[in-house]
A and B are shown apart, each in its own frame.
Chain A
Amino acid sequence: MNKFRRAVMWVALALIILLLFLSVYGAFIGAARAKGFISRLPLVVYWITFTLLLITALVMFRRLVRVPGLLLIHLGCVFILAGAMWSSETGHKLQKKLFGIDKITTGQMIIFEGHSDNCVILEDLKQIKKLPFSVELDDLKQIKQLPFSVELKDFQIEYYKTAYLHIQTRDGQGWRIPVEIDTEFPLGSEFGTVKILKTFENFKITIEGGSKKIIDDPQPGSNPALEVQITSPEGQVTTRYVFERFGGHTRPEDKFALSYRRVISDYISRLRIIKDNKVAAEKDIEVNHPLSFGGYHFYQHSYDAEAGQYTVLMVVSNTGLAVVYAGYWMLCIGVIWHLWLRHIVARIKLKNK
């Protein structure tokens, strides 16, 4: 290895070690700050230097071009870095300046059931302290419009069949009981037993003939609850209602607190893309199943936890993604070929000879 090549190798090693330390530093400062940190000017210089060094290495080290696995690995890394830079906020700004392509990098949409919208809020809604529905969209500076509208036909939350009643005593002892009607669950000699008598999808209290009546209201709405019977060790029977949404309170004489929890299995937003007054695309999006349209991906991001009336979608530009994915393919194929397959092929060839 001549001096220049050795110098390139040392620089490569130094950049790898530097990236290693930057990764560790990023892990300590948290995702949000790390995201900002990596797009600072010194880091931008670092990414460009790294990419250029990889290209220099491909030019200088013949072995990197002659050995297919090594070529794919290094070229793959160039693609990943280039794609990531192209898809970044700065990359989008550069595309606007150079080619006049004005795309939203990332943002969020709040859409109510039965409504359509094309406004994308560029700020993270989690950072806005007000509730999303009380935010005046015009007050937000960071709003951009899509060249098409997204309509929310329906939003649905699905739950696992098994729900649980959680019991927590004052001294920290706890039980998790699957919701099974009329099954008595012993809590030991100190606490007695509990029995779930009824489940409610939409718990309501009505007054009929001057007396209170508890019903499971079939009308639209949601207030999941449980009717629980508690039998104390002395045989005293009490009935309590436990609500999923409202934690309730414990009285001084209560030996334990009850809470009702259902586990969400899926969030589904039934979407329709409207372009030029026509339905251009339709998809039920879930976590792991986004919708792709017009150079954007739409993800199920959040929802109205109070009444399930609206969905929050994350809108992400797909610019540069194909380049990153091509890099991933090259890196994986390169590594597997270079470290595994070529040895297996060589062994087979040797055996055949």
Chain B
Amino acid sequence: MEIKYTVQGLLIYATIIAYLSAFVTSLLRREKTGHILYLFGFAIAVFSFGYRWYHVRHVPLQNLFEVFLCLGMIYPVSLFCRRILRVGGYSADMLIGAIVLFPAGFVFNAEPQQLPPALQSWLFTPHVAVYMLSYIIMAKATFQAILQLAGKGPNPNENLLPPEQATYRIICIGFPLLTLGLVLGSYWGKKAWGDYWGWDPKELWSLASWLVYVGYFHFRYMFGKKHPRINSFWAVAGMAAIIITLLWVNLSRLFPGLHSYAT
């Protein structure tokens, strides 16, 4: 763990502080101030991402540092979930934002890298961006699933969906993105390596994550809301598979493969 005494590092820390302040303020029932702080944190996160983009001269989605920097821009997702989907967890999103920025700020190496030939493709940005968006959406779904497992629900005055339904609705938004990420990755694999499916550990873990959500849909189709706890377990298992896909596969020596440049 190291502190980054760079402009990039300071921007990340400022975002974390803004997100955490927004979270604490929201807990103290100062929603408006919390919202402003959250928006302010998001603005710094966008600037930080843009700064990195300018610095490395390519879309900064190459390694874990850049990917977590991108995940820190969670605000539009929480706004969309609240306004359009009527799903709660707005305050929790502030905490999620701070948590995902933590490894970028203190753990991962921020040294700029040049793009290897395999990553010089128009598919690089859509493939990674679509995955990141789906991951952050699935993280929100997991939070709702945990709420359901904990037996907690939204305030009746808030006109928000109960956690089980909220989980389903968010997964319905995230699943097409997960599918698109998988298919784009496969198409890119064919273009770059000659095979649309190389049985690489990262590919297999991402297939496993996709299959957990496929299982969730089939189980929910069979039983509906009869077994809400099992439905929630599927969602939590999906997130566990995503975390392994995103982190463990790249950080552990257990899974050497074609995606090692993402480390």
A residues with CB within 8 A of B: 1, 6, 9-10, 12-13, 16-17, 19-20, 23-24, 26-28, 30-31, 34-35, 38, 84, 106, 160, 162, 176, 263-267, 286-290, 297, 299, 301, 314, 316, 321, 324-325, 328, 331-332, 335-336, 339-340
Contacts and interface: CB of A to CB of B under 8 A. Distances in A.
Given A30-B256, A339-B176, A106 B194 contact: yes
Contacts, number: 124
B205 interface: yes
Interface string B244-263: 00000100001111100000
B36 to A, nearest CB: 31
B258 A266 contact: no
A146 to B, nearest CB: 16
A321 B115 CA distance: 28
Contacts of A336: 176, 180
Contact residues of A: prevailing secondary structure: helix
Interface string B206-225: 01100110110011011000
Contacts of B191: 288-290
A267 B117 contact: yes
B106 interface: no
B114 A23 contact: no
Given A13-B219, A263-B114, A286-B117, A23 B196 contact: no
B117 A328 contact: no
A288 B218 CA distance: 36
Contact residues of B: prevailing secondary structure: helix
Interface size class of B (residues with CB under 8 A): 35 or more
Given A9-B218, A23-B211, A321-B190, 9 more contacts: A16-B211, A16-B214, A27-B208, A35-B198, A287-B192, A288-B118, A290-B191, A339-B172, A339-B175
Contact of A19 (B114, B211, B222): B211
A301 B193 CA distance: 8
Q: Give the one of A12, A288, A314, A340 with max B CB within 10 A.
A: A288
Instruction: Give the top 3 A-B pairs by smallest Cβ distance, nearest first.
Output: A34-B199, A287-B117, A27-B204
A9 B223 CA distance: 11
Interface of B: 111, 114-118, 120-121, 172-173, 175-176, 179-180, 183, 186-188, 190-201, 204-205, 207-208, 211-212, 214-215, 218-219, 221-222, 249, 254-258
Contacts of B188: 288
A35 B200 CA distance: 9
Given A23-B211, A31-B258, A288-B192, A264 B204 contact: no
Contact of B208 (A1, A6, A24, A266): A24
30 contacts: A1-B222, A6-B222, A9-B221, A16-B211, A20-B208, A20-B211, A20-B212, A23-B204, A23-B211, A27-B208, A30-B201, A31-B200, A31-B257, A35-B198, A38-B199, A106-B194, A264-B117, A265-B114, A265-B120, A266-B117, A287-B118, A288-B192, A289-B191, A299-B193, A301-B194, A328-B187, A332-B183, A335-B175, A335-B179, A336-B176
